[in-house]
Amino acid sequence: MKKYIAIAIALVVVGWGFSNYFPEFSPKSAGNDTPSSPLLTTFYAPSFKLPGLEQIGVKGMALDVWEKYLDAAKNHDLIKIKELSYQLSSQCTDPDEEAECFQLMNSIYFFGSTLKSDDFKYVEADNKQVIMYTDGPDRSILYFTKDTSGNMKLLGVRVCSEDQENPQLTCADLNVYTRDDDGDGWWNSTESLFR
């Protein structure tokens, strides 16, 4: 019995020490002026949730699609481009315009190969779309669609320069959570790329 009393006292002492040195573990009072008993202490562990883990995963998946797309563009692999794209340009759907399609692939590869994954600091995503973008004033924006299984396809790329005299004005509508004017679940900026 003495052993159990000693253990109980040791727990109270440890609890008191934690509440003094680690305020996030301090006991909460039962009422406004009534302190809680040290024997009835409730400990609140700090949250170890890391912010943005979901966005990190989304960004990794989107960048994987982007890198595969660039590789396919470099190699003029139209079959792979079709797999990775939500929609194709008219030049790449018409066999008579193959040279123009290849020129578009060359252009996207030339531009895309200059971008670094670390440049895409911002990621906005929901169950239908992903937008990744860089800082301004020369902002690069990648748009992706997501299917019901979460698979992504590249929808489009935009590059724009912001007005340096009015830095609060962005060159693209990135206010995704309030900008779905027709209420169909597609953000205005995403929907503007649909053909």
Regarding whether 25 and 71 lie in a shared domain, the answer is: no
Model confidence, pTM: 0.67
Q: Is residue 16 part of a domain?
A: yes
Domain region containing 185: 53-191
How far apart, in whole angstroms, are the C-alpha atoms of residue 128 and residue 55? Answer: 14
Residue 171 sits in a domain whose CATH number is 3.10.450
Mean of all residue pLDDT scores within the chain: 75
Per 3-state DSSP, what percentage of the chain is helix, strand, and coil (rounded to 5)? 45, 15, 45
Q: Is residue 8 part of a domain?
A: yes
Q: Is residue 102 part of a domain?
A: yes
Regarding whether 70 and 27 lie in a shared domain, the answer is: no
Regarding whether 106 and 166 lie in a shared domain, the answer is: yes
* Average pLDDT of the residues in 88-101: 92
Rounded to the nearest 10°, the torsion over CA 19, 23, 29, 35 is 50
What are the residues whose beta carbons fall under 8 Å from the beta carbon of 47, sequence distance 6 or more? Answer: none
Regarding whether 71 and 147 lie in a shared domain, the answer is: yes
pLDDT band at residue 51 using 50, 70 and 90 as cut-offs: very low
User: What is the structure's pLDDT at 164?
Assistant: 63
Comparing 15-24, 60-69, 142-151, the range with the smallest average pLDDT is 15-24
The share of the chain scoring above pLDDT 90, in percent, equals 40
Regarding whether 36 and 114 lie in a shared domain, the answer is: no
pLDDT tens digit sequence for 175-191: 766 578 888 989 888 88
Number of domains composing the chain: 2
Does 12 score more than 50 pLDDT? no
Q: Is residue 125 part of a domain?
A: yes
Cα–Cα nearest to 133, from 159, 110, 108, 107: 159
Regarding whether 65 and 7 lie in a shared domain, the answer is: no
* Average pLDDT of the residues in 119-135: 90
79 vs 162, residue with greater confidence: 79
30 vs 174, residue with greater confidence: 174
Q: Is residue 47 part of a domain?
A: no
* Helical spans, DSSP H, in 22-153: 53-74, 78-84, 98-112
* Helical spans, DSSP H, in the chain: 2-21, 53-74, 78-84, 98-112, 188-191
User: What is the structure's pLDDT at 195?
Assistant: 84
Regarding whether 169 and 142 lie in a shared domain, the answer is: yes
Bridge partners of residue 125, in order along the sequence: 130
Regarding whether 111 and 58 lie in a shared domain, the answer is: yes
Q: Is residue 48 part of a domain?
A: no
Question: What are residue 172's phi and psi, to 5 degrees?
Answer: -140, 150
What are the residues whose beta carbons fall under 8 Å from the beta carbon of 173, sequence distance 6 or more? Answer: 179, 187, 188, 189
pLDDT band at residue 171 using 50, 70 and 90 as cut-offs: low
Does 71 score more than 90 pLDDT? yes
Regarding whether 114 and 63 lie in a shared domain, the answer is: yes
